[in-house]
């Protein structure tokens, strides 16, 4: 379906054209060592290693070495191969909307290199093949908590499915099938096979996609096995770790100390009640769970997906859609623990939660799934890439202060500007493949019931089902007027068009069908449904685009008495570039939202809607003031205005303070 969806949205066309013109060439130059890089200290706290260059990626070189075409030691993180695979996947999606023979020829060459590097039995993971340095004596799948072997192969399988779908390259898919068959040889319930799951989930969702592409039942069975075997033996990783020695040659020594709760192995996943541990691992696994539940009709697995989803989005998600509260282990902590200035909120986790939302929408047409996806599309995920496409965030805080990042170890993971690259470079290609594939996130189509679910408001032209054409026109997210036309060919059966009414506009919106008022159509799980017969049906919507002040649940102690500013789907922030510091002196009066104004500025930040909001600003105490003083000696206050920009666009101009949440004036 995705190849028949053409994005016309000005907002998203800019991002997608940027991927083609800037992101793909830049990232290729990095992974192919044509571009020297300067990387910051790893935000995840991984120890520096002699096997990781701070200037060169060597990701493509590792494949040449594994293919026997060059001699060099392995370089990079153990999952370095995945940088190449995610680049290939983003390139595949870009080729679907911007055909480029030169890029496709390059991708074909990369696929051919990967095929040459693959072992005869299908195994492919360059650190374990090159056998240099600390990998010299490592055996396949002997320490899968740490090795990332299946994580890396999963990313190749995803790339191969996408590249085959877009270009028809059979070699890409053959390598993936051979790889999956290798895993099937090593893993499964049979005697003599390994009875354990990957340390970093990814293969589950990848095998599900491979099944979709090939309809080979063995891939579906293996994906389901990896889900169901997790936690059956909570000691599985411990036993493997003990078997390889005392830990002196571990890839990630700290992983030996990880609890079974953190690794989601304390119990079978169907019994898991909360999202624990590494946020990216959780959402990748949850994507596979939801996909397998849908493919197999497994009701218990579906309930598991719903339960873990609810825990994340109702208790552990930032207002921007970001997830992951702490840099220690890049992890979830506990319900309602959402610190702003120490947030981790990894870009990959936002992209991963988008994967989950898409799969949940495939199972059920529920507004909450699409609302969360929208949060990522216009806030959390795209904050991970700069407007120039050449700089990236790994960590996405809700508050940032230069001095804290520079001098406080607790805030060192929060960068004040996006980096060129990272030692652990999972995020740059991840956000790029999400942007390049955004056309795949706009509709859910149910052929058996002839239902088209339009859940995202990104202008596009699409051909769905058997020649049914859908056209969406809007200037979203800056304008709330959306028109969706459906053309059903003569002689074709009618279709049902289900359109989401966003949660932020559910109390105020207007709807018409073919010019007739239809706002009284029933709202079911956040959607209204219009029956479209043969011919043209036009649905027009007007959403509430007024500035809104939001408060947090009282259980979130970090936001008690604070207010966040939103307009439509976009979350806004204060930035020092526009407002004199310190930003913590600004207070919002609860009734000021009605006095706020919005203005589109085409010449700022590639075109954004800027908000001007009345505020109260406390004056700073004189420098020689006591550290503490009586409350009746309150600082003077002045009424003024503050300028807010979209959160995703912060840190694209200068280094300075940033805040999403502001104090509420008393």
Average pLDDT over the chain, rounded to whole? 96
pLDDT of res. 46: 57
Cα 569 to the chain's mean position, in Å?
17
**Does 477 sit behind a cis peptide bond, omega within 30 degrees of 0 on the bond before it?**
yes
Q: Which CATH number covers residue 310? A: 1.50.10.10
Sign of torsion over alpha carbons 562, 566, 571, 576: negative
Q: What is the pLDDT of residues 233-266, one digit of tens each?
A: 999 999 999 999 888 889 999 999 999 999 999 9
Same domain, 241 and 280: yes
Same domain, 478 and 502: yes
Same domain, 367 and 228: yes
Query: What is the C-alpha separation between 343 and 335, in angstroms, rounded?
Result: 14
Residue 638: CB atoms within 10 A of its CB come to 10
pLDDT of res. 45: 62
Measuring CA to CA, which residue among 472, 439, 461 is closest to residue 15? Answer: 439
Same domain, 384 and 516: no
Query: What is the C-alpha separation between 240 and 230, in angstroms, rounded?
Result: 14
Active site amino acids: 330, 426
Instruction: Indicate whether 666 pLDDT > 90.
Output: no
45: left (phi over 0), alpha (psi -120 to 50) or beta: left
Q: What is the pLDDT of residues 285-334, one digit of tens each?
A: 999 999 999 999 999 999 999 999 999 999 999 999 999 999 999 999 99
Same domain, 642 and 508: no
Give domain status of residue 659, yes or no. Answer: yes
Residue 53, burial from CB neighbour count under 10 angstroms (0-12, 13-18, 19+): middle
Give domain status of residue 117, yes or no. Answer: yes
Q: What is the pLDDT of residues 554-579, one digit of tens each?
A: 999 999 999 999 999 999 999 999 99
Same domain, 625 and 505: no
Q: What is the pLDDT of residues 58-117, one digit of tens each?
A: 999 999 999 999 999 999 999 999 999 999 999 999 999 999 999 999 999 999 999 999
Q: Which CATH number covers residue 491? A: 2.60.40.1180
pLDDT of res. 633: 87
Instruction: Indicate whether 170 pLDDT > 60.
Output: yes
User: Residue 343 in 3-state DSSP?
Assistant: coil
Same domain, 524 and 450: yes
**Does 242 sit behind a cis peptide bond, omega within 30 degrees of 0 on the bond before it?**
no
Query: What is the C-alpha separation between 275 and 64, in angstroms, rounded?
Result: 39
Sign of torsion over alpha carbons 335, 338, 342, 348: positive
Instruction: Indicate whether 42 pLDDT > 80.
Output: no
CB of 513 closer than 8 Å to CB of 496: no
Max Cα–Cα distance, the chain, nearest Å: 82
What is the number of domains present in the chain?
3
Collect all residues with Cβ–Cβ distance below 8 Å to 180 and sequence separation of at least 6: 122, 157, 207, 210, 218, 219, 222
Sorting pLDDT into bands at 50, 70 and 90, what band is 50? low
The last residue of a domain, from among 519, 543, 567: 543
Same domain, 486 and 390: no
Q: The pTM is what?
A: 0.97
Instruction: Indicate whether 49 pLDDT > 80.
Output: no
Same domain, 473 and 552: no
Domain of 102, in residue numbers: 2-248+258-441
Measuring CA to CA, which residue among 467, 639, 466, 275 is closest to residue 289? Answer: 275
Strand runs labelled E in 311-428:
399-400
Radius of gyration of the chain (CA): 25
pLDDT of res. 363: 97
CB of 556 closer than 8 Å to CB of 587: no
């Amino acid at each position: 379906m995705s190849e028949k969806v053409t994005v016309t949205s000005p907002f998203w066309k800019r991002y997608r054209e940027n991927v083609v013109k800037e992101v793909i060439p830049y990232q290729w130059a990095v992974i192919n060592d044509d571009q020297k890089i300067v990387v910051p200290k790893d935000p995840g706290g991984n120890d520096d290693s002699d096997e990781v260059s701070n200037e060169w990626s060597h990701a493509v070189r590792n494949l040449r070495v594994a293919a026997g075409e060059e001699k060099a030691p392995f370089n990079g993180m153990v999952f370095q191969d995945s940088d190449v695979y995610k680049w290939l996947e983003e390139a595949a999606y870009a080729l679907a909307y911007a055909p480029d023979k030169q890029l496709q020829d390059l991708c074909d060459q990369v696929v051919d290199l990967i095929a040459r590097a693959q072992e005869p039995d299908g195994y492919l993971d360059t650190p374990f093949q090159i056998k240099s340095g600390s990998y010299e004596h490592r055996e396949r799948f002997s320490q899968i908590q740490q090795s990332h072997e299946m994580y890396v192969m999963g990313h190749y399988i995803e790339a191969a499915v996408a590249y085959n779908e877009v270009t028809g390259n059979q070699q890409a898919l053959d390598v993936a099938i051979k790889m999956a068959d290798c895993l099937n040889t090593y893993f499964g319930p049979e005697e003599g096979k390994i009875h354990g799951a990957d340390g970093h989930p990814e293969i589950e969702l990848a095998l599900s996609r491979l099944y979709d592409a090939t309809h080979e039942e063995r891939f579906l069975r293996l994906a389901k096995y990896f889900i169901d075997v997790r936690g059956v033996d909570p000691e599985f990783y411990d036993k493997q770790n003990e078997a390889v020695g005392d830990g002196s040659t571990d890839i990630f020594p700290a992983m030996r100390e990880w609890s079974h709760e953190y690794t989601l192995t304390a119990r079978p996943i169907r019994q898991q009640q909360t999202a624990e541990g590494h946020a990216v691992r959780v959402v990748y696994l949850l994507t596979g769970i939801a996909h397998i539940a849908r493919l197999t009709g497994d009701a218990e697995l579906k309930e598991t997906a719903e339960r873990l989803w609810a825990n994340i989005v109702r208790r552990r998600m930032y207002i921007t859609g970001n997830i992951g509260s702490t840099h220690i282990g890049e992890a979830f902590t506990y319900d309602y623990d959402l610190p702003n200035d120490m947030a981790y909120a990894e870009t990959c986790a936002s992209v991963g939660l988008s994967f989950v939302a898409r799969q949940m929408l495939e199972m059920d047409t529920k507004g909450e799934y699409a609302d969360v996806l929208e949060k990522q599309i216009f806030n959390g995920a795209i904050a991970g890439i700069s407007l120039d496409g050449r700089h990236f965030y790994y960590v996405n805080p809700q508050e940032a202060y230069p001095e804290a990042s520079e001098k406080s170890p607790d805030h060192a993971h929060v960068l004040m500007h996006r980096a060129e690259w990272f030692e652990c470079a999972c995020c740059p290609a991840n956000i790029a493949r999400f942007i390049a594939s955004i056309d795949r996130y706009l509709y859910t189509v149910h052929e058996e019931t002839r239902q088209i679910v339009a859940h995202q408001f990104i202008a596009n032209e699409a051909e769905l089902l058997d020649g049914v054409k859908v056209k969406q026109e809007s200037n979203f997210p800056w304008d709330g007027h959306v028109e969706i036309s459906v053309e059903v060919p003569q002689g074709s059966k009618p279709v049902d068009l289900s359109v989401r009414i966003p949660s932020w506009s559910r109390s105020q919106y207007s709807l018409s069908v073919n010019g007739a008022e239809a706002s009284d159509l029933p709202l079911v799980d956040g959607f209204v449904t219009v029956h479209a017969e043969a011919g043209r049906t036009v649905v027009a919507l007007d959403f509430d685009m007024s500035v809104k002040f939001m408060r947090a649940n009282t259980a979130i102690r970090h936001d008690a008495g604070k207010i966040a500013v939103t307009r439509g789907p976009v979350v806004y922030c204060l930035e020092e570039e526009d407002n004199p510091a310190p930003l913590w002196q600004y207070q919002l009066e609860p009734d000021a939202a009605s006095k706020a104004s919005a203005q589109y500025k085409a010449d700022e930040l590639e075109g954004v809607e800027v908000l001007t909001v009345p505020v109260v600003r406390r004056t700073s105490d004189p420098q020689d003031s006591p550290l503490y003083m009586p409350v009746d000696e309150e600082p003077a206050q002045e009424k003024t205005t503050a300028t807010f920009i979209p959160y995703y666009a912060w840190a694209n101009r200068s280094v300075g303070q940033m805040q999403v949440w502001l104090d509420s004036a008393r």
